């Protein structure tokens, strides 16, 4: 087992007093090399779980163990990919990808440049090394974000709705690309999304969450063959899984849409 969430609860104090239970008793074990997606309505605390796994947020109760060690702070074995890309606009593509390596100071400048170039090529950005983020499309920017995370060679990739800011077509292409890159060395991936189709397409297992407070509703194994192309979305099993998850989430979403939810 590579990463283990034990009864993780996160409570945020509210500015006007009181508190908000973001996640309540989250339990999950992820095996090495597994691709796990976490899907749920907005506000179910799925991104919070990712930040807890990275060590940026300390849980109010419960623990996260990574390779049997308690997670208390970010470490070189875990890398985050952000929804907002989080690229530094004054740095070129090359320099952005190098950020993690720079901070970890484990390699010589020549080595770093070689690693950076390898991953820039892997994500298909060769020729754009000296471009600035504002000169790139959204999809290309997230490729930079992915390369930056991969460059530190983490044991696990934590992806926080990485394609949510992209348009539908780019999003499909990016998820296909992600699987292609993942197939190369099968790192463990924890991937948070609110897209059901994306969740099924990518995952070995899907964690479906309910909101307010965020709880694990169901964990679903996906037995679709790999490597997967986009055509698999027409597979009857894919369609069945998608419908099943939609039914699980429908009640949650209805609450949110109608405003009849359990108010926090």
Partner 1 sequence: MKKQQRLWIGGLAIVIFLGLWEAAMPLGWVKVADISRPTLVVKAFVELTRTGDIFHHLFVSLKEFFLGFALSLVVGVPLGVLLGRYRTPFLFLDPLLMAIYTTPRVAMMPLLVVAFGVGFGATVAVVFLGAVFPILVNTAVGVREIDRVWIRAVESFGGTEWNIFTKVLLPGSVPPIVTGIRLGVGRGILGMVVGEMYAATEGIGQQIALYGNSFAVSELMALIVVVSLLGFVFVSLIRLVEDRLRYRRMETEV
Determine which residue in the list 1, 61, 88, 230 makes contact with partner 1, applying CB under 8 A: 88
82 counts as binding partner 1 under rule CB under 8 A: yes
Minimum CB separation from partner 1 for residue 170, in Å? 13
Handedness of CA 225, 248, 56, 171 (dihedral sign): positive
- With CA atoms as reference, report the closest residue to 28 among 20, 38, 19: 38
141 counts as binding partner 1 under rule CB under 8 A: yes
Other Cβ atoms less than 10 A from the Cβ of 166: the count is 20
103 counts as binding partner 1 under rule CB under 8 A: yes
Within positions 162 to 221, which residues make up the interface with partner 1, using CB under 8 A? Answer: 165
Determine which residue in the list 15, 16, 68, 134 makes contact with partner 1, applying CB under 8 A: 134
Other Cβ atoms less than 10 A from the Cβ of 228: the count is 20
Cα separation, 6 vs 28, in Å, equals 7
Q: Please say which residue, 141 or 171, places its beta carbon nearer to partner 1.
A: 141
**Contacting residues for 246 by C-beta, under 8 A, at least 6 apart:** 196
Strands 156-160 and 78-81: parallel
56 counts as binding partner 1 under rule CB under 8 A: yes
76 counts as binding partner 1 under rule CB under 8 A: yes
80 counts as binding partner 1 under rule CB under 8 A: yes
Determine which residue in the list 12, 20, 65, 132 makes contact with partner 1, applying CB under 8 A: 132
Stretches 19-27, 83-91, 172-180, 202-210: which one binds partner 1 (CB under 8 A)?
83-91
Other Cβ atoms less than 10 A from the Cβ of 188: the count is 21
């Amino acid at each position: 087992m590579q990463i283990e969430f034990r009864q993780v609860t996160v409570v945020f104090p509210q500015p006007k007093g009181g508190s908000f239970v973001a996640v309540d008793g989250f339990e999950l074990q992820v095996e090495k090399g597994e691709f796990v997606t976490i899907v749920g309505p907005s506000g179910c605390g799925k991104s919070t779980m990712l930040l807890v796994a990275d060590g940026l947020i300390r849980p109010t109760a419960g623990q996260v163990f990574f390779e049997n060690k308690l997670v208390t702070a970010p470490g070189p074995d875990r890398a985050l990919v952000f929804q907002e890309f989080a690229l530094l606009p004054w740095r070129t593509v090359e320099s952005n990808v190098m950020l993690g390596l720079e901070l970890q100071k484990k390699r010589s400048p020549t080595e770093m440049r070689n690693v950076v170039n390898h991953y820039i090529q892997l994500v298909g950005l060769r020729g754009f090394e000296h471009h600035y983020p504002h000169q790139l499309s959204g999809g290309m920017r997230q490729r930079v974000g992915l390369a930056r995370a991969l460059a530190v060679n983490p044991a696990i990739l934590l992806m926080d709705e990485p394609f949510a800011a992209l348009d539908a077509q780019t999003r499909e292409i990016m998820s296909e690309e992600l699987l292609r890159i993942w197939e190369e060395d099968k790192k463990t991936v924890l991937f948070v999304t609110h897209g059901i189709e994306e969740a099924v397409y990518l995952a070995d297992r899907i964690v479906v969450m309910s909101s307010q407070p965020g709880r694990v509703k169901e964990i679903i194994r996906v037995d679709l063959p790999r490597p997967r192309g986009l055509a698999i979305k027409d597979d009857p099993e894919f369609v069945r899984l998608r419908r099943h998850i939609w039914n699980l989430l429908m009640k949650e979403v209805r609450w949110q849409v109608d405003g009849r939810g359990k108010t926090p």
